[in-house]
Amino acid sequence: MEIEYTQHSASPVKRVISVIPEVIPEDSEQLPELEFTASRLSRNESRAMMSRALSRNLTRASLKIPSFVGGRSSKTFFVDPPTKPQFDPDDDYDFDFESDEEESSPISYDSVEDVHRRAYKTFCKQLGVMPCSKVLRQFGKTSVNLADLNLSNKELKAALMTFINIFRDDDGDYSDEDSENDGEIYEINLSGNKLTTKEMEYVIDLLTVNKRVSNLVLSGCHLAGESLDKLADFLRKSNTIQKLDLSNNDLTDKDAEALCKIIQDNESIFELILAHNNLGEGGVAIGNALEKNDTLRSLDLSWNHIRVIGAVGLAKGVQKNCHLEKLILAWNGFGFEGSVALKRLLENNTSLLHLDLSCNRIHPPALFEIIKGLEKNKTLSLLNLSQNPITAPMTSIFLSRLLRAKHSGLQELDLAGIVVDKEFESVLEKIREKRFFTVRYDTSLPVNKGAAVKVDPKNVFNIDPIRILYFMKEHLRTIDLFLKFDKDSNNCLTRDEMQLAFEMEGYPISQEAMDSVMSYLDTNKDGSVDLLEFIDGERKLKRKLIQEREEQKLRQSAEEELRGGHEYSQAYRRPANPKLPPIRK
């Protein structure tokens, strides 16, 4: 092939390439890559060949599609002069045009999430269920949240099997450098989905293939029985889960054995939530397991009906634990026996920082026991005693004992729902002069009768408005008190008249407390209180006061037993050798 470089008359900046096929012999081997000559090519084929050759080898050149110069029979083309790099006729040309389209066409790959979604849809089709849109949105995230979807067994199986296969077969074939995460799952939330034994096996398989899951939430999954046993057997050997939520699963003291396996043998769980169950006397077994646990930092046992024996057993176990920092026991029934055990706990434990005892039937004698433990405790910084039947005078006594406790490290006290007396705030100021101390409490009682004080909290637990109502009688007869309140003299006391009576006497009362007064006195539910209903209410109150005096005598006898060396009340102790009646012959 001979290539001539000449100037074209029409354009001085263009070069002319003339192809002279006659100079190429048929048996020429100089250009083995040229398998046919230009003379055998049609005009369109020649144009296409040259265009593709030039565009392929001169990628940086600014080219136009070659056009013919000199008529239809001419084999001459003209092209734009190349920019950098300069065109070199000695360069080898690649005329292999068959693979051009394959190389130039872009190859599209599916993202990792799309592959996983297709796999999930395939499982759903095999099981005969519809794919769930929320499940489809979970692929590619580090946190899988399937809470409250109420998935059926097959729907849950399709989702779990997809995640299992993702980690079991993942070998990097679908790697995506732009992915937001590395494909691992760190949190699984299956709350509100019923997990039978079979579904629990799928959950365990998923935790086995993906060892990065640290947060497992199984609240409200009906795990009582065999499902919990399987989970406990797995967690005994697994050391990846750091937070486990088993709340609201209807667990009873029969399931305490499985929970003890988790607490006693697992070495990775830092936070365990067992709230809203019915463990009851299972607290004894949990306490025994806590004695041998050295990893748990937070334990939530609220709303579990833990009382008397269960409360004492649990407190004994926490007493010997040296690593637990947060213990939530709200809404149980520790009462007096549990408070005595808590006293021993506070005296000996050196790790507990946060203790929640809200709504635990802690009355003044029980509070005295807790105060004894607080005086010797150096580590507890937060104590919650809200919504307990603690009297107003007892609150100032409590602070006075804390003021004298030199070693106490208590910094925050929650007495929400408990009204304090007039001395409380003055003692509180004395404590704050010595150290940082925060208290949450309700409005203090007025010293003398005067203007009414508004009560902001909705729930006040240590003031009985009925007693205040009849206390206002002083030396009057019941009928005289009734006539004093009856402003319109219609022999009936309306709600507004009752409220005005409280305000005139200077006692604070909320709308909720007023509701309790009306429901107590208005027995026929007509919206007003007549004289007979008013007298009836006073008789009921007197019977209640008599009953309370009897209970107070029992408490005093219990305190005498404690001073005599007994640890718990007689109601708690069980006789070792019960005396049986003699057998008659």
Region 456-463 average pLDDT: 48
**Do residues 273 and 221 touch, judged by C-beta distance below 8 A?**
no
pTM, two decimals, is 0.64
Structure confidence at residue 511 (pLDDT): 79
The closest alpha carbon to 221, from 213, 212, 231, belongs to: 231
Amino acid at residue number 378: K
Structure confidence at residue 508 (pLDDT): 64
Q: What is the mean pLDDT of the chain?
A: 78
Structure confidence at residue 203 (pLDDT): 95
User: Cα angle vertex 354, ends 349, 356, to 5°?
Assistant: 105
- For residues 501 and 507, what is the distance between their CA atoms, to the nearest angstrom? 9
Distant-in-sequence contacts of 531-539, Cβ < 8 A, 24+ apart: 531/479, 531/482, 531/491, 534/478, 534/482, 534/493, 535/478, 535/479, 537/466, 537/470, 538/470, 538/478
Region 518-531 average pLDDT: 89
Half-sphere exposure at residue 468, Cβ-oriented, CA atoms within 13 angstroms: 22
Structure confidence at residue 442 (pLDDT): 82
- For residues 339 and 321, what is the distance between their CA atoms, to the nearest angstrom? 18
Q: Which residue has 């002083």 as its token pair?
A: 474
Residue 408 DSSP SS3: coil
488 pLDDT more than 90: no
Structure confidence at residue 568 (pLDDT): 57
CB contact set of 11 (below 8 Å; sequence gap of 6+): 78
Cβ-based burial of 514 (10 A; exposed 0-12, middle 13-18, buried ≥19): middle
How much is the CA Rg of the chain, to the nearest whole Å?
Answer: 43
- For residues 290 and 323, what is the distance between their CA atoms, to the nearest angstrom? 10
Region 58-62 average pLDDT: 45
**Do residues 138 and 144 touch, judged by C-beta distance below 8 A?**
yes
Q: Which residue has 């009355």 as its token pair?
A: 363
Region 352-363 average pLDDT: 95
SS3 content of the chain, % helix, strand, coil (to 5): 40, 10, 45
Determine if the peptide bond prior to 85 is cis (ω within 30°).
yes
